[in-house]
């Protein structure tokens, strides 16, 4: 039984023929870059699509940018995004499906739209921040209080990096001669393994966190490429929850990563990180200076205050007795004055009552007198009617001898002189007895 067989190359050429069609030519595709590498001016990579939740690879294809396009594409990509084409980036690319009989299936890339990657990076950053916010840890490290002094600094950096050298140089040549203690916890600061590497350095520091006041993550010099390694959820999570304040100095102004948001302090350069730590230490020195001069001032003040108090006591003692007497006298005067006041207040009503009584008595007296005078007048009239004068006026006369009124003729002796009183006038006569 013979079978019709073709060669493999023929089969592959047939496949290539099938795939060579307009719907697979210059197609815009969204994919993530992996294993990006250059070789003789060409750029080779894997394109992958990952499950949004699990991160498992759900699609994969080899891809290449030929040297004829690579210079242009990578230059415009760098100009727009500030970074080179590296693994982990999500890109929008234009490619044509190509099937090479010897090398198999691949996508030949003719263009990349950098605006997609920029938006994508921003979106990813925002997603991580929102997630950290939801989990309530976004501000954890940022709200950590700084210790009184921050002189023991754990550094996470790539050993030998220019930034690390700048940092150490700045730190140890501070004019205040602050006594910094540092140790480098080496980590990869670029490439896909950056997050894992930095996280393991963080763990090493956390294991001896009582030895350190703060952590500085610095990435020195070099291009600002590959910052997207720091836009990593797990790393951001670790930094946000780190028990010591973290200073991040990994990029320049325009390159803000998620780490810059979650770290306690964000600076532009490693040198700036050192400057910040120096100024913080100098503040502690200033505080000491302030307390010292305040204590000196208070002590001096106290002593001179006590001296003044003594002098005052001395001068007070000299005049104290006289002053005390004067004060007692014044108190007495005041007391008597107020007593008089009280007396007057109590007595004057009594006086008024007395006045009233007096007036009543006077009125009563006057009335009684008037009544008496009237009665007297009536009596006078009666008396007048009964008086001898009235009898005399009626024609009677009164004869007296030796001052006595005569009532009997026998009482008269011969020749006695008697005086007779009439109503008007008197006359004398001599008695002749018959």
Partner 1 sequence: MEKPQFRPVGELTYNQAVNELDGILRTMQSDSCDIDLLAAYTRRATELLTECRSRLTATDKELQAILAGLQQ
Classify the phi-psi angles of 353: left when phi > 0, otherwise alpha if psi is within -120 to 50, otherwise beta.
Answer: alpha
CB of 211 to partner 1, least distance (A): 14
Does 126 bind partner 1 (CB under 8 A)? Our answer is no
DSSP-based three-state secondary structure for 59: strand
CB of 144 to partner 1, least distance (A): 16
Binding partner 1 by CB under 8 A: which of 75, 234, 298, 340? 298
The nearer residue to partner 1, 213 or 260, going by C-beta atoms, is: 213
The nearer residue to partner 1, 62 or 152, going by C-beta atoms, is: 152
CA gap 62, 367 in Å, rounded:
149
Pick the closest to residue 246 from 320, 174, 185 (CA basis).
Answer: 185
CA gap 46, 106 in Å, rounded:
9
Our CA dihedral for 134, 140, 142, 147, rounded to 10 degrees, sits at 180
CB of 136 to partner 1, least distance (A): 29
Task: Give residues 144-173 in contact with partner 1 (rule: CB under 8 A).
Answer: 147-149, 151, 168, 172
Strands (E), 197-329: 214-218, 246-249, 265-266
CB of 290 to partner 1, least distance (A): 10
Give the neighbor-by-neighbor strand order of the sheet with 214-218. 181-186, 152-157, 214-218, 246-249, 265-266
CB of 313 to partner 1, least distance (A): 14
CB of 170 to partner 1, least distance (A): 12
Cβ-contact 246, 188 below 8 angstroms: no
42, β-bridge pairs: 39
CA gap 417, 32 in Å, rounded:
190
Binding-site residue total for partner 1 (CB under 8 A)?
Answer: 27
Paired tokens of 56 = 């498992």
Classify the phi-psi angles of 395: left when phi > 0, otherwise alpha if psi is within -120 to 50, otherwise beta.
Answer: left
CB of 202 to partner 1, least distance (A): 22
The nearer residue to partner 1, 154 or 239, going by C-beta atoms, is: 154
The nearer residue to partner 1, 82 or 281, going by C-beta atoms, is: 281
CA gap 434, 422 in Å, rounded:
24
Binding partner 1 by CB under 8 A: which of 10, 60, 179, 371? 179
The nearer residue to partner 1, 164 or 261, going by C-beta atoms, is: 164
> Rg of the Cα trace of the chain?
68
The nearer residue to partner 1, 180 or 261, going by C-beta atoms, is: 180
Does 116 bind partner 1 (CB under 8 A)? Our answer is no
Does 101 bind partner 1 (CB under 8 A)? Our answer is no
Our CA dihedral for 244, 250, 251, 252, rounded to 10 degrees, sits at 70
Does 203 bind partner 1 (CB under 8 A)? Our answer is no
Does 369 bind partner 1 (CB under 8 A)? Our answer is no
Does 220 bind partner 1 (CB under 8 A)? Our answer is no
Binding mask 257-296 for partner 1 (x = CB under 8 A): ------------------------x--xx-xx--xx-xxx
Pick the closest to residue 241 from 219, 213, 216, 262 (CA basis).
Answer: 262
The nearer residue to partner 1, 306 or 391, going by C-beta atoms, is: 306
The nearer residue to partner 1, 17 or 159, going by C-beta atoms, is: 159
Residues in touch with partner 1 (CB under 8 A): 147-149, 151, 168, 172, 176-180, 182, 281, 284-285, 287-288, 291-292, 294-296, 298-299, 302-303, 306
């Amino acid at each position: 039984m013979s079978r019709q067989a073709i060669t493999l190359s023929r089969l592959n050429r047939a496949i290539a023929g099938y795939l060579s069609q307009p719907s697979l030519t210059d197609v815009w595709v969204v994919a993530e870059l992996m294993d990006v590498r250059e070789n003789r001016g060409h750029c080779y990579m894997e394109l992958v699509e990952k499950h949004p939740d699990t991160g498992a690879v759900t699609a994969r294809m080899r891809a290449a940018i030929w040297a004829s396009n690579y210079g242009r594409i990578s230059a415009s990509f760098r100009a727009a995004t500030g970074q080179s084409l590296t693994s982990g980036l999500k890109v929008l690319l234009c490619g044509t499906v190509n099937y090479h009989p010897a090398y198999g299936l691949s996508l030949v890339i003719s263009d990349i739209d950098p605006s997609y990657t920029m938006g994508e990076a921003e979106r990813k950053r925002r997603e991580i921040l929102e997630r950290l916010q939801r989990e309530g840890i976004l501000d954890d490290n940022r709200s950590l209080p700084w210790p009184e002094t921050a002189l023991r600094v754990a550094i996470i950096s790539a050993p030998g990096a220019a930034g690390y050298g700048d940092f150490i140089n700045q730190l140890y040549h501070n004019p205040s001669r602050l006594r910094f203690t540092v140790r480098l916890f080496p980590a990869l600061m670029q490439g896909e393994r950056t997050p894992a590497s930095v996280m393991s350095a963080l763990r090493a520091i956390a294991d001896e966190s009582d030895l350190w006041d703060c952590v500085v993550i610095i990435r020195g010099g070099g291009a600002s490429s590959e910052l997207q390694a720091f836009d990593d959820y797990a790393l951001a999570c670790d930094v946000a929850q780190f028990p010591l304040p973290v200073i991040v100095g990994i990029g320049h102004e325009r390159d803000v990563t998620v780490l810059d948001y979650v770290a306690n302090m964000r600076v532009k350069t490693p040198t700036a990180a050192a400057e910040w730590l120096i100024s913080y230490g100098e503040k502690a020195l200033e505080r000491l200076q302030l307390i010292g001069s305040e204590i000196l001032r208070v002590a001096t003040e106290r002593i001179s205050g006590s001296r003044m108090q003594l002098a005052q006591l001395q001068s007070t003692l000299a005049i104290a007795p006289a002053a005390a007497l004067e004060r007692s006298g014044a108190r007495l005067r005041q007391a008597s004055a107020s007593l008089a006041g009280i007396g007057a207040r109590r007595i004057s009503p009594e006086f008024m009552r007395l006045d009233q009584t007096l007036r009543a008595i006077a009125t009563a007296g006057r009335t009684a007198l008037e009544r008496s005078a009237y009665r007297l007048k009536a009596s006078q009239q009666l008396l007048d009617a009964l008086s001898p004068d009235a009898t005399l006026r009626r024609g009677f006369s009164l004869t007296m001898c030796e001052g006595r009124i005569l009532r009997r003729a026998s009482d008269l002796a011969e020749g006695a002189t008697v005086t007779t009183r009439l109503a008007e006038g008197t006359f004398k006569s001599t008695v002749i007895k018959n």
